[in-house]
């Protein structure tokens, strides 16, 4: 049995956590930036 994927929007995540879409967007951007700075992660389409 194959599991279905769920692609959640910032709106849905924010609603679940009780924060705004812009807060989720900022958190995701901060995490992406931190991961890229380690040099151990590469995110497609993102430049250093």
Q: What is the C-alpha radius of gyration for the chain, rounded to an integer number of angstroms?
A: 14
Show the DSSP H helices in the chain as ranges.
Answer: 10-17, 21-38
pLDDT score, position 9: 94
**Residue ranges per structural domain of the chain:** 9-38
Structure tokens at 16: 């679940």
**pLDDT in the model for residue 18:** 97
pLDDT (tens digit per residue) in 1-48: 778 888 899 999 999 999 999 999 999 999 988 988 888 877 777 565
* Both tokens assigned to 33: 């930036």
Q: What is the pLDDT of residue 27?
A: 96
């Amino acid at each position: 049995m194959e599991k279905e994927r769920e692609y959640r929007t910032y709106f849905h995540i924010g609603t679940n956590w009780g924060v705004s879409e812009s807060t989720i967007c900022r958190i995701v951007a901060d995490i992406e930036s931190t991961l890229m700075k380690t040099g151990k992660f590469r995110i497609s389409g993102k430049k250093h």
